[in-house]
Amino acid sequence: MGNIVLSIKNVDKTFGGLHALGDINLDIEEGKIHAIIGPNGAGKSTLLNVCIGRLAPDRGTVEFEGKNMIGMEPYEINHAGMVRVFQTPEIFPDLSILQNVMIPALAKRDGVFNFDAFKSMASNADIEEQSTRILEELGLKSQTHDHAGSMSRGDKRRLELSMGLVQHPRLLLLDEPTAGMSRHDTNRTIDLLKQIKERGMTKIIIEHDMHVVFSLADRISVLAQGRIIAQGTPDEIRGNPRVQEAYLGGAEL
């Protein structure tokens, strides 16, 4: 195994009587796409929320590039280089597509407490050029000055991916990147993520669509009832009887 970017050790999380995560141990290798899959309610989003500081675990550590992130604020974790793209697009619908991409880039540069979005956007040709370049890469350049709220669902997902990429993350966490997309948009997103993979960026993907998972992942971890029940390559996971049972009552994936 290569260099470990993220190491999750012995993480537990409970909500009242619900044991959402139980003794999670997971290493994410640099430059790889690591998929986390599992049935609804398995604990996947809870795990991501622990990683980015939105939830504090009851026990355990989350080490990013050798530093424990537990106790840090979400913005501090973001500035350290761990960026999450959420399942429901978190965009500014009344702003242009270009402005949506510029805002996170400027906020990361200026710091969350010194950031004035409209003042910053007025005099930052370098950030505008960088944002435009990313929009072009993701096929959105022709819509640069459109309002983000008028976009299709698939395009909104690509916009939020652009908003993540413009922050130059060392680890990008994608929560259901193809949720609600048509098959055409899904395949287009797969191609885009493959292109991004060629840069060597490390990514964690939570995804229900097995076509997406098996098309992209170098390694897969399977959660069920808050615990990891299997880890391995796509071929190893595809034929794992415990995974088949958790998903489809024993049918092959």
Determine how many CB atoms are found less than 10 A away from the CB of residue 141: 14
User: If we measure between CA atoms, which residue out of 213, 216, 204 comes closest to residue 82?
Assistant: 204
Longest dimension (CA), the chain: 59
pLDDT digits (tens, 9 = 90+) for 22-69: 999 999 999 999 999 998 889 999 999 999 999 999 999 999 999 999
pTM, 2 dp: 0.88
Domain ranges of the chain: 1-72+208-253
pLDDT digits (tens, 9 = 90+) for 101-120: 998 888 877 765 555 655 55
Burial (Cβ within 10 Å: 0-12, 13-18, ≥19) of residue 59: middle
Residues whose CB falls within 8 Å of the CB of residue 189, separated by 6 or more in sequence, listed in order: 154, 157, 158, 161, 177, 178, 181, 212
DSSP element (H, E) containing 48: helix 44-51
Residues whose CB falls within 8 Å of the CB of residue 191, separated by 6 or more in sequence, listed in order: none
The CATH class given to the 1-72+208-253 domain equals: alpha beta
Tell me the H-state helices in 52-124: 74-80, 97-110, 117-121
